[in-house]
Amino acid sequence: MKKYLFSTFLLALFAIGFTASDDEIKDDPNVANIELSILKPTTAPTYVTGDDVITISGTAKAKNELESITYTTSTGLAGVAEGLENWTIASLPLGEGVTVIEVKATDKTGLFRTQRLTVTQGTLTGIVKINEKTDIWDGGYLTPIGYFTYKKDVNTTAEGNFSAISYLSLDKEEMATLIATKDENLPTQLVVKDKGIIYFSFPNDEIVELLFDNGEKVAFLGSYACPKNLLPSFTEFDKEDVFRGALANAAAIIRANTGEETISPEVAAIVNTFADLFEQVSKLEYEENAGAVSRLTVTTSGNYEFAEILGNWFNTEIIVRIYNTLALWTGKASFKVGGSSCTLSGTIWCLADVYNALGSYGIVCDTDKAKLLIGEGKAEYQGEGYQPYGKLSFDVDFRGLKPNTTYFYRAYYAFNDFAGSTLVPRNGEVIDNVLYDTTIKSFTTGDNLLSVDVVMCIDYTGSMGGIINTVKENAMSFYDSFKAKCDSKGIGLTGLTAQVIGFQDINVDGDDWFRQSPTYQLPEQREEFNTFVGNIYAMGGGDTPESGLEALDAAFSKTDWGADDGYHRQVIILWTDAPYLVGEAYTKLTVEGIKAKWDAMPSGRRMVLFAPTECYDSNGGSWAVMDSWKNVIRETNLYAGFSDMDYILEALIGELTSKAPQKSPRSGGATPIMIVPTANN
């Protein structure tokens, strides 16, 4: 079979500045003068059918007027298409097996351009799994479009986290490897033999960015809306079907052009080609075909030839050349809060699991492009991120930014020892042992406005008797204190709602164990709010643990949180002197389930816990488990904290001006790191 799978893709690459092959563009010195596209039955360079004939159609355009659209086939047929700018070749007979059809557009001056479609007609129309004689691979797949192999662990020392699917054309000339995450089957890199790498960057769960790296520079292909939970591997395929799932995911991602970016026809051709190829394979059904397997060539080492060829390619291209390279990309500005906070993303591509040990990385940000360097006297904002091995991006929160101001930013990787490092930069520029992305992006902050929805969870069991009045006073004065703090920071408070949840012990306090107020608009409904809070008195309670998880569950289930638009805060404050109940005999809730609800809340969520660490009862849980949750702050000095309203205000307002205490994600899990301006601010 003649080479076909990546011919259209390579042609698209050539059209944006790479050296063209004589097989694809003949002697045409001005290929831009002629455009030729095959649109039906597919835009991909390959097609599988059980029919004996095929109809092909497409479009053509020439600066010097088209003369003819002709075709030839590998079976010896030749002829002229009907039409010029919109042409059709109807009912073209196919040979048994593979037929290569070449369409040629010629203009009045004799310049011409060609496109090929390789059609497979025969008994093999599905995917045949191969579980033996596959060399280094965990399995192989024979399809009408080409050979594929699968490796479930690219890095065996790091328990995998990345899998690989490699492709070999039926003529054994074209090769490529798709690297995907094992946990979600998301594509991360597509390495094409002798051409370069397509990178997939996921700055958040809703967006993907595509890039092409030819080894000399990185070209941005576009930004796409692609919610991860709607990808085919989540909605259409069994989780164990990693082969079709990974290819279908890649097809869906590159299909999802949002129109945000201006994409040239050449880049669109790349995107459409890959979408067609991956989609076509992913839609094939699995079948048994002993005859097709029996015709495979076996080498002297006892492996199938295609598996051995791909094994050699994988070992030399992926393991030797790609494995220890580090590619860096500056991602999107995901959201801003109150005009003074912005979360920026970046991506590191590195198959070796040592990048977290051999350096640190993050984002630099400044109003001056020339200052986008780390170190004293350089960028005004410098922050480290953390990307666990097997994940696809890292985030850095920048706070205390000036409203209505344009900032520039880029990603960096600071080597501990660049000269002695096993990692090799694939892109960017190295300055003083630091690799910087050459792509610089920008964002503009908005008006310094903020709207807050707050839920106050109050433990009103008997043990709170000595401090319940202080908690109530803080709750009733919250609006005035918060408004004054916003005014002092130059933040316009556009709205504040408040709701109160009181809790005791669900197992011993009867119907009065739980109280939940309506949502009050403050200051307009101050009187109603104060009345509800004033009627809370400390009483009841059984053993030490109380129903704190139930209170948080009710708060997290609130349905009228403000919009997730960057100008709203969703705030939960909890006061308790007791651990929370655990165990099926005492509660239907689990910490894991509560955390899942917390993670699903809007991005402006914040939680302040006045809660102890100690837990001496077998049916109690320690609040310390929540210290690693994103955007959670906990005060353990309860009696001082209960009376310190400034602590809450600084946690909610101070974080917008780079003053609130935050934990590094390296030590605390998912909590975003606080970015403090450098001394030259």
DSSP collapsed to 3 states, 409-420: EEEEEEECCCCC
Is residue 377 within 8 Å of 678, Cβ to Cβ? yes
Confidence category of residue 24, pLDDT binned at 50, 70, 90: very low
CATH architecture label of 326-444 = Sandwich (2.60)
Q: Crossing angle of helices 468-476/478-489, nearest 10°? A: 50
Measured between alpha carbons, how far is residue 178 from residues 185, 186, 247, 508 in Å? 11, 10, 9, 58
Q: Does the pLDDT at position 173 exceed 90?
A: no
Highest mean pLDDT among 48-62, 245-259, 492-506: 492-506
pLDDT of residue 182: 82
165-169, 293-297, 475-479: least confident range = 293-297
Q: Does the pLDDT at position 548 exceed 90?
A: yes
Instruction: Say which residue, 221 or 566, is predicted with more confidence.
Output: 221
Instruction: Say which residue, 656 or 269, is predicted with more confidence.
Output: 269
Q: Do domains 326-444 and 449-643 have the same CATH topology?
A: no
Q: Does the pLDDT at position 30 exceed 70?
A: no
pLDDT of residue 338: 57
- Mean pLDDT over 80-88 rounds to 96
CA distance 279 to 665: 38
65-69, 109-113, 288-292, 481-485: least confident range = 288-292
Measured between alpha carbons, how far is residue 213 from residues 156, 278, 353, 401 in Å? 26, 20, 21, 33
Q: Does the pLDDT at position 9 exceed 60?
A: no
8-22, 85-99, 181-195, 446-460: least confident range = 8-22
pLDDT of residue 563: 78
Contacts of 109 (CB under 8 A, 6+ apart): 64
3-state secondary structure of 434: strand
pLDDT of residue 43: 87
Q: What is the DSSP string of 116-154?
A: EEEEEESS--SBEEE-SS-TTSSEEEE-SS-EEEEES-S
CA distance 510 to 542: 11
- Mean pLDDT over 467-471 rounds to 86
- Mean pLDDT over 128-133 rounds to 94
CA distance 580 to 621: 5
pLDDT of residue 679: 31
Q: Does the pLDDT at position 523 exceed 80?
A: yes
Q: Crossing angle of helices 265-282/7-15, nearest 10°? A: 160
- Mean pLDDT over 45-69 rounds to 89
Percent of the chain with pLDDT over 90: 47
**Average predicted confidence (pLDDT) for the chain:** 83
Instruction: Say which residue, 392 or 87, is predicted with more confidence.
Output: 87
Is residue 473 within 8 Å of 363, Cβ to Cβ? no
Contacts of 44 (CB under 8 A, 6+ apart): 8, 273, 276, 277, 280
Is residue 181 within 8 Å of 153, Cβ to Cβ? no
Q: Does the pLDDT at position 42 exceed 50?
A: yes
pLDDT of residue 44: 83
Contacts of 539 (CB under 8 A, 6+ apart): 460, 461, 462, 504
pLDDT of residue 179: 93
- Mean pLDDT over 520-540 rounds to 93
User: Would you state the structure tokens that stand for residue 34, as one six-digit string?
Assistant: 């002629």
* Closest listed residue to residue 210, CA positions, set 226, 231, 232: 226
Domain-by-domain residue ranges, the chain?
7-121, 128-322, 326-444, 449-643
Instruction: Say which residue, 195 or 300, is predicted with more confidence.
Output: 300
Burial of 302 (0-12, 13-18, 19+ CB in 10 A): exposed
Given the structure tokens 């991006």, which residue do they identify? 393
Q: Does the pLDDT at position 82 exceed 90?
A: yes
Confidence category of residue 16, pLDDT binned at 50, 70, 90: very low
- Mean pLDDT over 396-404 rounds to 82
Highest mean pLDDT among 213-217, 617-621, 657-661: 617-621
Q: Does the pLDDT at position 559 exceed 60?
A: yes
User: Would you state the structure tokens that stand for residue 458, as one six-digit string?
Assistant: 């109050």
For residue 475, what is the DSSP state? H
pLDDT of residue 267: 56
Q: Does the pLDDT at position 604 exceed 60?
A: yes
Q: Does the pLDDT at position 302 exceed 70?
A: yes
Q: Tell whether domain 7-121 is in CATH 2.60.40.10.
A: yes
Write down the CATH superfamily of domain 449-643. Answer: von Willebrand factor, type A domain (3.40.50.410)
Q: Does the pLDDT at position 639 exceed 50?
A: yes
Q: Does the pLDDT at position 424 exceed 90?
A: yes
Confidence category of residue 15, pLDDT binned at 50, 70, 90: very low
Whole-number CA gyration radius for the chain? 31
